[in-house]
């Protein structure tokens, strides 16, 4: 049997890769050892401030040139700064190791807990330690981003960073300066009518969100939403909720660009932003076909009259799932309101507060439509041209059995209701059948807050507006009314042919032409 070749005659053995590593580690250890000895001697000083001071003075005295002394002082400062930074890093590492060993939750559960925090608290947690910072950087923690503040503190860079961290997990985004809350003096005392008693309800308001009278401009600009459309709209693809408050530099084109990538949007709220309602409607109806809640409040009450009837129809056809619609502070007339309310069959909340041109005629015959059966909340607060007679007719429809799901009605008006023949004649104490309605519908909440001052002055002018319950349901009154709420026999064009109603938004010709073909 042939002997095996000896190791000396064989090819040279390939060196183990770990040998070089150990050799390098040994060299590093031998090189760092003198520095360790120096640092240990410094740390072992009983009173380092005095010892180091005397030693530095002796070294400086031994230097001959002034330039050399300056260099020695700079070197001492650099060494001292490096020691301080090294000590701080070591402290953070030890704290992180301690937190990791003491923290009872694994990283995945920690991320789950952090994802339940609001954005401000999440930022505070991330600054606590490196372990928390790593967990707080997980995209799941940025599913719901809320960067609303009372003062302008957030800029575009912060928003872009947050959106980038969230990535495809982003579902909710709230930006801007939150509107100031109304003070107690600004809120008038409201009366909540019930079937049992009358109680004060100053805390119940149709909307506590007032357009913010800000002293400082918002730091966010029109490009604050550009992160949603970056990388082909990756971040905005699954966004469900978008709320924007008082971003004065935002315009319709920037918002349209952002909405173009938000195909899954369900909730859009825009408050105090200077852009046309028509632009918002066009963008929403074109891109957000699944939206269920739309709330828009004008920054300039009563000035935006850009909305057209065809635009309203496009919204009805493009966004049939809208269940909550709030349009506040716009020149929205009854014809356009009727298109929206009758066309959106899933509506359960309608809020047309501070709508300048609404008289209430859009409510006629609404009780006979299918979507009226699902209406739960109707808010017509502070509508300047809202008429007493239209509210009386609406309540008569409620008493007759229409609007069975209606739970909340707000007809409060700080200027009083309008007379039938002249809206300049205000009624501060209208006799409308609230008591009768509550007797028939004890589950219904009616807010009817009208100013008490001016009642004595307006007694003569508003006396003709007192509509008693018996008069409201008499055959004579029903026959003289030009429309019935529940009959369904009317064509729905009353707001166009009512001689006492005037269009205030300059769209009467278009409305008339459209109504003839609708």
pLDDT at residue 133, as a whole number:
85
3-state secondary structure of 193: strand
pLDDT at residue 105, as a whole number:
84
Q: What is the pLDDT of residues 85-128, one digit of tens each?
A: 888 888 877 777 776 667 788 888 989 999 999 998 998 988 88
Nearest partner of 326 among 369, 289, 286, 355, judged by Cα? 355
Sign of the alpha-carbon dihedral angle for 283, 289, 291, 295: positive
What are the residue ranges spanned by the domains of the chain?
142-179+217-447
Nearest-angstrom CA–CA distance, 101 and 108 = 15
Of 14-18, 278-282, 295-299, 315-319, the least confident: 14-18
Grade residue 55 by pLDDT with cuts at 50, 70 and 90. confident
State the DSSP H helix or E strand holding residue 389, giving kind and residue range, or none if neither: helix 388-400
User: What's the farthest any 2 CA atoms get from each other in the chain?
Assistant: 134
DSSP class of residue 463 equals G
pLDDT > 70: what percent of the chain? 71
Neighbours of 417 (CB within 10 A): 30
Grade residue 179 by pLDDT with cuts at 50, 70 and 90. low
Starting at the edge strand that comes first in sequence, how are the strands of the sheet with 293-297 ordered?
144-149, 172-177, 241-245, 267-271, 293-297, 324-328, 349-351, 377-379, 408-410, 445-447, 191-193, 198-200
> Is pLDDT at 497 greater than 50 in this prediction?
no
Pairing of strands 377-379, 349-351: parallel
Grade residue 4 by pLDDT with cuts at 50, 70 and 90. very low
First to last CA, the chain: 108
Nearest-angstrom CA–CA distance, 136 and 138 = 5
3-state secondary structure of 6: coil
Give the Cα-Cα-Cα angle 69, 72, 78 (nearest 5 degrees).
145
pLDDT at residue 431, as a whole number:
80
The tokens describing 263, both together, are: 């195909």
> Is pLDDT at 32 greater than 50 in this prediction?
yes
The tokens describing 78, both together, are: 């650099």
Grade residue 46 by pLDDT with cuts at 50, 70 and 90. confident
Fold of 142-179+217-447: 3.80.10
DSSP per residue, 145-159? EEEEESSS---HHHH
Average pLDDT over residues 223-237: 87
Average pLDDT over residues 358-381: 84
State the DSSP H helix or E strand holding residue 447, giving kind and residue range, or none if neither: strand 445-447
Q: What is the mean pLDDT of the chain?
A: 75
341-364 as b/e: b if 16+ CB within 10 A: bbbbbebbbbbbbbbbbbbbbbbb
For 267, list phi and psi in degrees, rounded to 5.
Answer: -140, 115
Q: Give Cβ neighbours of residue 122 (< 8 Å, ≥ 6 apart).
A: 114, 136, 141, 142
CA within 13 Å, CB half, 159? 26
pLDDT at residue 207, as a whole number:
41
Nearest-angstrom CA–CA distance, 115 and 228 = 20
The tokens describing 516, both together, are: 């003839």
- State the pTM of this model: 0.68
Nearest-angstrom CA–CA distance, 69 and 57 = 10
Q: Could you tell me how far CA 99 lies from the centroid of its own chain? A: 36
> Is pLDDT at 490 greater than 90 in this prediction?
no
């Amino acid at each position: 049997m042939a002997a095996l070749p000896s190791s000396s005659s064989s090819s040279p053995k390939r060196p183990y890769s770990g040998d070089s590593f150990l050799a390098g580690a040994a060299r590093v250890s031998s090189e760092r050892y003198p520095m360790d000895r120096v640092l240990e001697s410094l740390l072992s000083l009983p009173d380092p401030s005095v010892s180091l001071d005397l030693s530095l003075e002796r070294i400086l005295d031994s230097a001959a040139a002034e330039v050399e002394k300056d260099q020695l002082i700079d070197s001492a400062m650099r060494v001292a700064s490096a020691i301080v930074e090294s000590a701080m890093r070591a402290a953070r590492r030890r704290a992180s190791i301690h937190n990791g060993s003491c923290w009872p939750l694994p990283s995945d559960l920690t991320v789950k807990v952090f994802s339940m925090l609001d954005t401000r608290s999440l930022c505070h947690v991330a600054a606590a330690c490196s372990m928390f910072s790593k967990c707080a950087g997980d995209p799941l923690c940025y599913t719901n981003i809320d960067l609303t503040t009372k003062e302008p503190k957030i800029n575009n860079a912060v928003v872009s960073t947050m959106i980038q961290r969230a990535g495809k997990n982003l579902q909710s985004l709230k930006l801007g300066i939150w509107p100031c809350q109304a003070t107690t003096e600004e809120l008038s005392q409201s009366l909540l009518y019930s079937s049992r008693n009358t109680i004060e309800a100053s805390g119940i308001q149709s909307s506590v969100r007032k357009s913010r009278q800000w002293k400082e401009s918002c730091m966010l600009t029109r490009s604050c939403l550009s992160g949603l459309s970056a990388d082909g709209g990756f971040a905005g693809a699954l966004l469900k909720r978008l709320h924007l408050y008082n971003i004065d530099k935002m315009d319709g084109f920037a918002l349209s660009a952002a909405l173009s990538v938000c195909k899954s949007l369900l909730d859009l709220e825009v408050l105090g932003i200077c852009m046309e309602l028509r632009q918002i409607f066009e963008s929403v109806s074109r891109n957000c076909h699944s939206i269920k809640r739309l709330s828009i409040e004008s920054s300039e009450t009563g000035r935006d009259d850009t909305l057209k009837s065809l635009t309203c129809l496009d919204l009805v056809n493009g966004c049939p799932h809208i269940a909550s619609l709030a349009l506040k502070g716009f020149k929205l007339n009854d014809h356009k309101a009727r298109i929206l309310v009758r066309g959106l069959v899933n509506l359960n909340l309608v809020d047309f507060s501070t709508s300048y041109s609404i008289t209430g005629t859009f409510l006629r015959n609404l009780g006979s439509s299918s979507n009226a059966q699902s209406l739960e909340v109707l808010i017509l607060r502070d509508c300047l041209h809202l008429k007493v007679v239209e509210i009386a007719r609406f309540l008569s429809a409620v008493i007759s059995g229409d609007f069975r799901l209606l739970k909340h009605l707000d007809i409060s008006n700080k200027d009083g209701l309008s007379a039938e023949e002249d809206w300049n004649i205000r009624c501060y104490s209208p006799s409308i059948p609230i008591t009768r309605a509550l007797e028939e519908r004890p589950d219904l909440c009616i807010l009817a807050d009208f100013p008490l001052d001016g009642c004595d002055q307006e007694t003569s002018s508003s006396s003709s507006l007192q509509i008693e319950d018996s008069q409201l349901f008499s055959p004579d009154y029903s026959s003289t009314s030009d429309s019935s709420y529940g009959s369904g026999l009317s064509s729905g064009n009353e707001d166009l042919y009512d001689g006492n109603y005037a269009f205030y938004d300059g769209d009467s010709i278009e409305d008339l032409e459209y109504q003839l073909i609708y």
